[in-house]
Amino acid sequence: MGDGCKIDALADRFALTAPTSATEDIDEYLLVRWRGDDGRPADGYGTLTEWFNKQLLGHFYENAGRETLGVRLDSEYEALVGEDELLRAEVEDDLASDGIDPARVREAFVSRSTMRRHLNDCLNGNKDSSTGESDWERRSIDLTLDMAEGRIRDALSSLSAKGAFPDPDSVEIDVEVQVRCVDDPYQIPLSEALAGSFECSESRGSNVA
Ligand SMILES: [Zn+2]
């Protein structure tokens, strides 16, 4: 991929810096977190995507003079990317009342696929598979989603050649698995479920939708 994706452009536009004293460089920070080089457990694409998007949201808030307290930002971010349309509309109205255009926020958010490409292609990063043996579960999920994305892209390329689909290079494909508790219609992205405290009221375990 060329020099500079959506993440590079946004990092420039908002002058994003890393939240550690070790480095100011956001790319270096993303690589360290992704590979777990700092001794902490390595983060997957989903976690890093969420982190990046929350940084962006924080900048929108700051520029508009809106309170950027972590707890508030976290819960509003969840609402903005969540499935609950009423809750999302409520938060979007509230943003608008502070002079933040919710459409611009939505447009700025990056997808998991973009983060994956940024780390692998823009930064030429690779994750040493011998580290974090205990993290094979998340790796397996990442690998499965990457494979799904690749196969979907191949199929769309073929459809595109037949004139049945636009050029897939101009389309962002974001593969995300949703999970929900049995009998509960409310779904959340698997990445969120893994990052947070996903619990079912009755301990029947989770159901991959
Ligand atoms: Zn990039």
- pLDDT above 80 for 65: yes
CA of 204 to the centre of ligand 1 (A): 41
Lowest mean pLDDT among 19-28, 124-133, 148-157, 168-177: 124-133
* Same domain membership, residue 160 and residue 146: yes
Nearest-angstrom CA–CA distance, 41 and 38:
8
CA of 92 to the centre of ligand 1 (A): 28
CA of 16 to the centre of ligand 1 (A): 14
Q: What is the mean pLDDT of residues 67-79?
A: 90
* Same domain membership, residue 99 and residue 67: yes
Q: Is residue 128 part of a domain?
A: no
pTM for this entry? 0.68
CA of 12 to the centre of ligand 1 (A): 11
* Same domain membership, residue 115 and residue 85: yes
* Same domain membership, residue 190 and residue 113: no
Mean of pLDDT over the chain: 85
* Same domain membership, residue 115 and residue 20: yes
What band does 1 get if pLDDT is binned at 50, 70 and 90?
Answer: very low
Range of the domain at 169: 134-174
Nearest-angstrom CA–CA distance, 58 and 73:
7
* Same domain membership, residue 112 and residue 153: no
Identify the pLDDT of residue 189. Answer: 83
* Same domain membership, residue 190 and residue 138: no
* Same domain membership, residue 78 and residue 44: yes
* Same domain membership, residue 69 and residue 140: no
CA of 73 to the centre of ligand 1 (A): 25
- pLDDT above 50 for 205: no
Instruction: Please provide the size of the chain in residues.
Output: 209
- Give the three-class secondary structure for 178: strand
* Same domain membership, residue 188 and residue 95: no
* Same domain membership, residue 43 and residue 91: yes
Of all helices (H) and strands (E), which one includes residue 147? helix 136-161
Q: Is residue 129 part of a domain?
A: no
The pair of structure tokens assigned to 11 is: 């990092």
CA of 189 to the centre of ligand 1 (A): 23
What band does 199 get if pLDDT is binned at 50, 70 and 90?
Answer: confident
CA of 124 to the centre of ligand 1 (A): 10
Q: Is residue 91 part of a domain?
A: yes
